[in-house]
Structure 1
Amino acid sequence: MTEPLPAPAQEFPPTLREVMLRGRWIGVLLLCLVVAGVFAWLGQWQLARAIDTDPPPPGATEQVRPLTDVVEPGQYLPEPLGGQKVTTSGEWVAEDFIVISSRFNAGVEGYWVTGQLRVADRTSIAVALGWAPTREQAEAAADALAGQGAAEVELTGRLIDDEGVELPPADDVFALTRMSPAALLSQWHDVEQLDVYRPYLASLTAPAGLVDIDSPAPEEKSPVNWLNIFYAAEWAIFAGFAFYLWYRLAKDAWEREVEEFEDAHA
């Protein structure tokens, strides 16, 4: 009696684990690890900048410091020093008292009188001296200051960032509506080889004929930058998505193989 033939080996479709362990998908996984590592590094970089580990002490801007200790001519004002009270001395350039419009004091629109203060040889800073409710009063105060000549003064005020340049109206190309040392420089006299401070000084005490400029202490900022924390969280999500993408691609390949296997054995 002959022995029965052995039954043919039963075939099974590949498992998801088998597909993922193939060389192709191991290579894709390594690439995803590199991408996720880059995203994780970017997230750590954002997170390190989200928290100020050495914030200025409360009220630091209210402590009067010499101008030269805070910023140098031509340098941008560091963000923590915006509104810092400083003191300096120098001589006014008599021809450079200029009126700026659209200035608000306690919510009331008016005008500033500004001047060029020569704080050292060939070095100047723009100063906002005071506020007036009308142009006529502002121009009268500017004329009175110009009449005093190159007077030596000592000033205390707040350092404030340049407000930027704005195109003047076509009917008055010299009109100014923003406190911009760069714009004022274009109208100043004796500016050859002149070093100018980028921020301007808002004087705490106005001269005769003007009102003190409303210049409150800057708000103390939180040491936590929530926008940077949000960006750090985004990078973490991107890193996780790199692994999900690998899983999704490998699973799609496995599902196609299973479908092809079932069709072949139907």
Structure 2
Amino acid sequence: MLRTALKPRNLALLAVAVLVVIAFVQLGRWQLGVAEDEALRESLDRARSQQPVPVQTVLRPHSDFPGELGTRPVTATGEFGTDQVVVANRRLDGRTGFWVVAPLRVASSGATLPVLRGFVTSPSDLPPVPTGTVTVTGGLAPPESPYAGDAPPQGQLASVDTSVLVGRWPGDLYNAFVFQQEEEPAAAPASLGSMQRVPTPSGETGFKWRNAAYALQWWAFAAFALYMWWRIVRDEGRQEAAGRAAADQVDASGDNGRRE
């Protein structure tokens, strides 16, 4: 069969099959990308379609964080405390920096809600917290796990870990934090300095399974192209083997007739 596969015609067919396989594999990867993009778009559309609700209506202080509340838009009205913290080793738009997290004492419950105000590239760039009563709007998120690596420098945190914050900020604490997007009254741009808002993560998006199925179909077509080449070579090899066997039988019959 190897001799048959190495014939110029079959090698040319193999080259065509390889090109087809490459094209079909790339089409399958494209369909997977479409599946992820469509799922992300639908997730963002769902998040945008939800109206913010007061945080105290969906979450109680010190209670476990319900998974279905991830990215849920909420509002919280209260006053900021001045004890801001920075969370090290965060990235935004390709830059490494720090999250700025401040305590907001929610007026209706008296409990503190950690608010991720934004991102800065240096701890020295912290803007002052707003004074007076403010209403913060943003996406809700569960607390982060304790960081197991090297501790950050003194005065910095490695994660938004409410088990650490509860010892730093007195009183009741919500077991969550908010990716702040807006505040009312709105802060003057100059008061924010170089701080940028951090978008609320989109959460789990999964796949658009129809597009994922299309990807599998393209990959099946790719496998079928190689199978067809193998089938052509195999059948041709069998025909050649059968022809050689028939010729050998004829030669053997001729030799026997001459000996007689």
- Which residue of the partner structure matches residue 120 of structure 2? 132
Q: Which of 61, 64, 87 is residue 76 of structure 1 equivalent to?
A: 64
Does 1:93 find its partner at 2:81? yes
1:218 match: 203
Structure 1 residues 13-92: aligned runs within 5 Å: 59-62=45-48, 63=50, 64-92=52-80
Q: Equivalents in 2 of 1:74, 1:222: separation in Å?
A: 34
Root-mean-square deviation (Å):
2.9
**TM-score with structure 1 setting the length:** 0.51
Q: 2:134 aligns with which of 150, 153, 160?
A: 153
Q: CA, structure 1 residues 183+223, in 2 after alignment: closer, same or farther (shift >3 Å)?
A: farther
Name the SS for the 1:196 alignment partner: coil
In 2, Cα distance between equivalents of 1:68 and 1:103:
28
Whether 1:184 aligns to 2:165 is yes
Q: Which runs of 5+ in 2 are unaligned?
A: 1-41, 210-260
Partner residue of 1:204? Answer: 181
What is the distance in 2 between the residues matched to 1:71 and 1:60? 20
Q: Give the residue type in structure 2 aligned to 1:132.
A: V
Count of residues paired in the alignment:
156
CA contact (8 A) 1:66 1:87 kept: yes
Q: Are the structure 2 counterparts of residues 122 and 223 from structure 1 closer, same or farther at C-alpha, using a change threshold of 3 Å?
A: farther
User: How far did 1:93 drift?
Assistant: 1.3
* Residue 122 of structure 1, CA deviation: 3.6
Match of 1:195 in 2: 172
Judge conservation of contact 2:116–2:180 (CA < 8 Å) in 1: yes
Is contact 1:106–1:214 with CA below 8 Å preserved after alignment?
Answer: no
- TM-score (normalizing by structure 2): 0.52
Q: Which moved more, 1:206-215 or 1:114-123?
A: 206-215
In the other structure, the counterpart of 2:105 is: 118
